Structure 1
Amino acid sequence: MNGHFVSGNLRLARYLVRPAGRPGPLPGLIVCHGFPIGPLDARQSAGTFPELVDRAANDLGWVGMTFNFRGCGQSEGDFSLQGWVNDLRAAIDHLIEETSPSGIWLVGTNTGGSLATCVAADDPRVRGIALLGPRADFDDWAAQPRRFLEHAREIGAIRTPGFPRNFDEWGRELRRFRPTDAARRFAPRP
């Protein structure tokens, strides 16, 4: 990662690259990682994504950015679904402020792809999305929120003792975002 931006009161790590020698507004790409899967995997989230962003810049001439959602990598905070949505919205704002792109395209894997769909559906600045293995919903997490909370702690996505302050609200967030509904709202954009 080569910098940071702020989401709410949290500092999030990001990697931002501009293609050399390309003037003017360029298309902007944000690559979103998925939810970590293994023990302490949250610390390694998006570890190889800077290489992908570099390729988009060098081969396609796009401005590219990837970042660590809260609770992952070098970013502050603890995982919550609403928090990750807020983080992606802040990432879009940051890319626009830093680079004035001609448009924004989102690429996301797993949970990152699902939330890219949810955010893009309500943000006309997003011109297109590409998804790799997105979740259709978060119902399996919502069905057993305490078990999922423990899993999030085990993998390091939740690090703060006593988080979340309001478990019921944290659990409700798992049902709030519906990627399949968002995909219908996003259409006909690609």
Structure 2
Amino acid sequence: MEQLFTSGGIGIAGHLARPSIAAGTQVPGLLITHGFPHMNQGGRLSARSFPELAERIATEMGWVVLTFTFRGCGDSGGDFSLRGWLDDLLAAARFLREVDAVRGVWAAGFGTGGALSVCAAAADPEIRGVAAVGAPADFDDWASHPRRLLQHARDTGIIRSAAYPPAFDAWAREIRDVRAVAAIPKVAPRSVLLLHGSDDDVVPVFDARVLADAHGDADLRIIDGGGHQLRHDPRAVAVLLGWLNRQRALSSADRSS
């Protein structure tokens, strides 16, 4: 991945996949965001398979797709904070809207990235729809043990600076303040797809149901026997691609009406 834009002065690395389109053609844009790294992956590998998914969506479906690594992860600078990751996503949406040929921006996030995509759409009304895959409704479990989370973030390499965070209490407060379940009513009536594995052992499937209820008209899909890593489940990817296809069709219909 290469440095594509900045967020709060921090360089954010990403991959931009473009379809083959005629000059003057406009197409929808999609943001793909990764989740919180596991110990066996580490921050440097957080989004290793997402450029492949981005290229597939660009080539097969004609979207411009941006996938990037949040601050502290991959080749991006900075250190992890939940509010910082949300700021990165909002900066990515602004960047993608300025890319040549892009008409409208949607967001698709996995795990933590899914919850933050919901929060970003609540803060940015120009994000036209959200797909949240295995997304937590809130981060209250993390907020109950912020020092444990801080140590985990150090162990996975997404906090690199020994003196970070400069104010621990403020860093910890963000964890409770960023809540997808509180944000998602503000996303309605925009389209929301909630994809979740029935056997997710990281984020309970109950979280998806809570988010669906809070939105009021979300498309809730439970993948039978699916775990947390739905990026690698072809059934989940097929559902996501189907949703994107419908979003593109609706977008084209809105333009022509």
Query: What TM bracket, shorter-length normalisation?
Result: over 0.9
Q: Distance in 1 between matches of 2:99 and 2:39?
A: 34
Which residue is equivalent to 1:161? Answer: 162
Unpaired runs of at least 5, structure 1: none
Whole-angstrom CA distance in 1 between matches of 2:60 and 2:126: 23
Deviation sequence 1:86-138 (CA, Å, 0-9, x none)? 10011011111223521111000000000000010121111111111001111
Question: Where does residue 49 of structure 2 map in the other structure?
Answer: 48
Cα distance in 1 between the residues matched to 2:20 and 2:149: 44
Counterpart for residue 18 of structure 1: 18
CA contact 1:63–1:99 (8 Å) conserved in 2: no
Q: Check whether the contact 1:33–1:112 (CA below 8 A) recurs between aligned residues.
A: yes
Q: For 1:95, what is the secondary structure of its paired residue?
A: helix
Which amino acid is 1:160 matched to? S
Stretch of structure 1 that moved more, 149-158 or 90-99: 90-99
Partner of 1:97: 98
Calculate the TM-score normalised by the size of structure 1: 0.96
Per the TM alignment, residue 162 of structure 1 is displaced from its structure 2 partner at its CA by 1.1
8 Å CA contact 1:42–1:71 kept in 2: the answer is yes
SS of equivalent to 1:99: coil
Q: CA deviation at 1:8?
A: 1.2
**Matches for 1:1-190 after TM superposition, within 5 Å:** 1-23=1-23, 24-39=25-40, 41-190=42-191
1:184 offset after TM fit, Å? 1.3
In 2 relative to 1, CA 119–56 (structure 1 residues): closer, same or farther, beyond 3 Å? same
Deviation at 1:2, TM superposition (A): 4.1
Instruction: Return the offset for 1:3.
Output: 4.1
Q: Which runs of 5+ in 2 are unaligned?
A: 192-257
- Work out whether residues 45 and 72 of structure 1, in 8 Å CA contact, stay in contact via their aligned partners in 2: yes
Runs of 4+ in 1 over 6 A off after TM superposition: none
Whichever residue aligns with residue 139 of structure 1, its letter is D
Change (3 A) 1:124 1:147: same
- Rounded to whole Å, the distance in 1 between the matches of 2:2 and 2:57 is 17
The aligned length equals: 190
Moved more, 13-22 or 147-156: 13-22
What is the TM-score normalised by the length of structure 2?
0.72
Check whether the contact 1:3–1:16 (CA below 8 A) recurs between aligned residues: no
Choose between structure 1 and 2 for higher RCO, CA contacts under 8 A separated by at least 6 residues: 1
